[in-house]
């Protein structure tokens, strides 16, 4: 397997396990950003450092590993791979039962990171589309206000918005926001010429 280039944080209180996992992952091209010996320390590091991967021993103290897994997943902190040393089954999360062979560990770790990257990219695309939709709604609302104020049809109201935004050297969305926030500003704008 080639070098992955992904970085990771390790959560374990077991020095032997930690040393073994770091050796296996580093050999596969992963880069360790540090080992944390408790759940709170690991969570702080994931929030601060934002590595690609969290490799977590299911015996990480204190407490509930399922709750930790849920936080990592729901907050989108990183990809996560759980090394099951306790026999607890984490049905909803990717886990490997210890001991595990190095090629299996590195292959699963890389797959989990690739999937996380894909989900991150999809989330960014969803956010971009949601923003475009919100902007489109603002333009439509402003267009309606312009149409009503100047007694225009929708097409002429849109042309007026576009022309005015260009004259003021602002984006169409910014012009729409200004009109929505302060409809009175329409009174100081030159009324559009209406098409016969």
Tally Cβ neighbours within 10 Å of residue 152.
19
- Higher pLDDT residue, 162 or 89? 162
Using DSSP's 3-state secondary structure scheme, residue 55 falls into strand
Asked if the 129-188 domain carries CATH number 3.30.1510.10, the reply is no
Whether the bond into 62 is cis, omega within 30 of 0: yes
110 beta partners = none
Local confidence band at 196 (pLDDT 50, 70, 90 cut-offs)? low
| DSSP per position, 125-194 | HHHHHHHHHHHHHHHHHHHHHHHHHHT--HHHHHHHHHHHHHHTT--HHHHHHHHHH-GGGGGGSPPPPP
In whole angstroms, give the CA distance from residue 192 to residue 130. Answer: 31
Residue 191, pLDDT > 80, answer no
> Which distant-in-sequence residues (6+ apart) come within 8 Å of 158 by Cβ?
139, 143
Residue 193 confidence class, pLDDT cut points 50, 70, 90: low
Mean pLDDT of 89-109: 94
Side-chain-side CA neighbours of 183 within 13 Å: the count stands at 12
Quick check: 110 pLDDT over 60?
yes
User: Strand, coil or helix: what is 33?
Assistant: strand
pLDDT digits (tens, 9 = 90+) for 10-20: 999 999 999 99
pLDDT at 83 over 70: yes
Is pLDDT at 38 greater than 90 in this prediction?
yes
Structural domain boundaries of the chain? 7-100, 129-188
- Interatomic CA distance for residues 78 and 47, integer angstroms: 9
Of 129 and 196, the structure prediction assigns the larger pLDDT to: 129
Q: Tell me if residue 15 falls in helix, strand or coil.
A: helix
Q: What per-residue confidence (pLDDT) applies to 189?
A: 74
Question: Rounded distance, CA 146 to CA 166, Å?
Answer: 16
Chain center to CA of 67:
20
pLDDT exceeds cutoff 50 at 1: no
CATH architecture of 7-100: 3-Layer(aba) Sandwich (3.40)
């Amino acid at each position: 397997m080639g070098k992955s280039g992904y970085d990771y944080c390790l959560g374990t209180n077991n020095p032997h396990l930690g040393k073994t996992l770091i050796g296996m992952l580093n050999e596969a091209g992963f880069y360790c950003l540090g080992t944390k010996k408790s759940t709170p320390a690991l969570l702080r590091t994931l929030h601060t450092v934002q590595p690609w991967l969290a490799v977590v021993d299911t015996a990480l103290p204190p407490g509930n590993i399922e709750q930790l897994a849920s936080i990592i997943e729901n907050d989108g902190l990183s990809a996560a791979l759980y090394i099951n040393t306790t026999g607890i089954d984490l049905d909803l999360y990717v886990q490997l039962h210890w001991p595990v062979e190095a090629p299996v560990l590195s292959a699963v770790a890389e797959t989990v990171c690739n999937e996380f990257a894909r989900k991150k990219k999809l989330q960014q695309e969803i956010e971009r589309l949601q923003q475009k939709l919100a902007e489109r709604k603002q333009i439509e609302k402003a267009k309606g206000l312009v149409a009503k104020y100047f007694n225009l049809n929708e097409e002429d109201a849109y042309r007026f918005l576009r022309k005015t935004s260009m004259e003021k050297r602002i984006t169409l969305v910014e012009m729409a926001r200004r009109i929505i926030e302060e409809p009175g500003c329409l009174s100081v704008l030159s009324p559009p010429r209406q098409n016969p």
